[in-house]
Chains A and B, each alone.
Chain A
Amino acid sequence: MTETAAPDYHQMWAELGLDLPTHDMLLQAVGGMYGDAYLTQPNRPEGTGYLDFVLSEVHGLRIKELDDFRKQGGKVVGTFCLYVPEEIVRAAGAWCVGLCAGAEFAYDQVEQIMPRNTCALIKSFMGFKLAKVCPYIESSDLVIGETTCDGKKKAYELLGDIHNVYVMELPQTKDAKALAFWRERVAELMAKVEELTGNKVTADSLRTAIKEVNDKRRALQRIAATFKADPVPMSGKDRLLATQIAFYDDVPRFTQMMNTLADELEARVARGEGVAPKGAKRVLVTGTPMAIPNWKLHDIIEKAGAVVVGEEMCTGSRYYQDLVSEDATTLDEMIDDIAEKYLDINCACFTPNQGRIDDVVRMAKDLGADGVIDYTLNFCGLYAMEQHSVEDAVKAAGLPVLRIETDYSMEDVGQLSTRVEAFLEML
């Protein structure tokens, strides 16, 4: 971490083809949102300084690192979904970055090529691309999509017109046939990234990658586990941020910093120190992913005096709860293990998806939640359809549920605050 004033990155951004004035505007807006949501929190653990630093350099230093890497012949691969195995990408010598976007941007341009009633996640990444404000996508030598929901499938076709896109075909069920099919797709992906980087994936390189990515997940698991404590040692908002940053930061460095943060959180728990009073209402959040800078719901919940104890979402437990087995010796076995672990992720694009419902109930119990908030982006049919089953299961477990459907705009913050506060009063 450096103490000197941030260098000027405009030259680099211009070389990446960003639209500088628009991009400056975006950075300013994100900085403002961050200041309001994060820097106002009392008694944050020291380890969150790293998160502040990485976020303040989200389009700066990290992009510079990607840039340097690429100038030395390295390749960067952008992804949108948890199903794309980072291990495979890394084992071929490339770096993975998450491209999901969490802010409303250039919707006017997006709506010229896709319907208005598309979910905010899709509209947002497309807006970032069309308005030329995302240095991550512009740094991505290849973007890997996947056939999850209909919206994304079709969006990748549109993105394919203006960027180098490869789409992995994902099955929709999780039986043995589906696994065999998926395993082939993982092997195909491997060939694709090998071709991109010119490096062969070997048992050694894949073993290392599996270990590295598992270690990242282990660090996040440690952080998540400290939220069983009352009082919680850190805000849920900060935990969400850590998970969001995991998608694009340097893997070994991030892992190390998160382990340091976890040490601090564990020490706080041992001392009984927290960021909210003991007995503060505890909420588990589940649903569609929250990409940077989408902190809206957490901010509302925590400003109302409650704490978010966990996220059953792709920017949460689904990202780090399962590890790839480290027992394999041959390359083939490793690919088997990867295919298996990734197919285990519980996304609503699968049928049936009972695993997710079970996870929500289990996490709510483990984390001592007083209630569950089921969060869905507008126009996400998959997660909206599952709200009913989630609600039934959580209620059967004796906990109340609040369903929220929203987007990235701030128009409904007043309304949402009322509903969230009323929900908290009820707990």
Chain B
Amino acid sequence: MRVLGLDIGSRSVDAVWLEGGRPLDAAVTDSGFDPQAAARTFVDRGEHDVIVATGYGRHAAREAFGCEVVTEIKAYALGASVLFPEAASVLDIGGQDTKVIALGPGGKVIDFEMNDKCAAGTGKFLEVMAKALGFDLEEMAAAALAADGSGIQISSMCTVFAESEVTGLVHRGADRAAVARGLHDSIAKRTLSSLKRVGATGPLVFAGGVAKNAAMVELVRTGFDGEVLVPEESQTVGALGAALSHGAGAHE
């Protein structure tokens, strides 16, 4: 049986095709204005027997495709623990949300936390800040990585306030790289305290789009007490987990 796992997020729609527990193919596309339409392009390939959807668009997908649904939390837990059976916790920083999960045996969720309704500290946040600094995303991460961490602190995590804080700093002639470093530092700090709150231990699987950001990975690695693993396909962990949840006591 072929299972199509869909992770329908606000920034991207990710797909993984699975057969007998082994991934056959994976794909990622922008959500655009109509995430369900983006998801439909994968469904229309007709290369599946069953669909399981996760992500914020999962309920709409259930309406549209009559598929099974599973939450992102369970999907990431399953995906991460199949990629890394030794994983004890998961961190996912996606386009608009952040989740941390403490895992028990067999990828069971023991505790989790998600950020609140705003985009503080997420991929979207980094995009806005990069723009304010006149960098593209990679440049910003590279600059942050190269800068030393003694300098600037960003006190605000609200996207709107942080943006004006950053603009203010740049206007006062602050070093852009140091500001970039400050931004990454503050996100890492927030993330690490969230990990602490759920009692996350190593090895930690760092997934989601922001796991491609070398500076974030480095800072989490430095601050986290345990090993940090980054999957090669960090963006499709949720879709993989959704596909894996089929037959594994999927909810609803």
Contacts and interface: CB of A to CB of B under 8 A. Distances in A.
A35 to B, nearest CB: 19
Given A400-B111, A421-B71, A411 B56 contact: no
Most B CB within 10 A of own CB, among A400, A417, A419, A425: A425
Interface of B: 56, 59, 70-74, 97, 108-112, 114, 116-117, 251-252
Nearest to A405: B116
Most A CB within 10 A of own CB, among B70, B71, B110: B71
A422 B56 contact: no
Given A411-B117, A419-B114, A425 B251 contact: yes
Nearest to B60: A414
A418 B114 CA distance: 9
B189 to A, nearest CB: 21
Contacts of B116: 405, 412, 415
Contacts of A411: 117
A414 B116 CA distance: 11
- Interface size bracket, A side: 10 to 19
Contacts of A415: 56, 97, 114, 116-117
B112 A426 contact: yes
Contacts of B252: 304-305
A425 B56 contact: no
6 contacts: A405-B116, A415-B114, A418-B114, A422-B109, A425-B251, A426-B109
B130 to A, nearest CB: 25
Interface string A122-166: 000000000000000000000000000000000000000000000
A287 to B, nearest CB: 17
Interface of A: 304-305, 400, 405, 411-412, 414-415, 417-419, 421-422, 424-426
Contacts of B112: 422, 426
A418 B73 contact: yes
Nearest to B56: A414
A208 B249 CA distance: 55
Contacts of A419: 114
Contacts of A405: 116
Nearest to A412: B117
Given A412-B116, A415-B116, A425-B70, 16 more contacts: A305-B252, A405-B116, A412-B117, A414-B56, A415-B117, A418-B56, A418-B72, A422-B72, A422-B73, A422-B112, A422-B114, A425-B71, A425-B109, A425-B251, A426-B109, A426-B110
B111 A422 contact: no
Contact of B71 (A305, A400, A412, A418): A418
Nearest to B249: A425
A206 B109 CA distance: 54
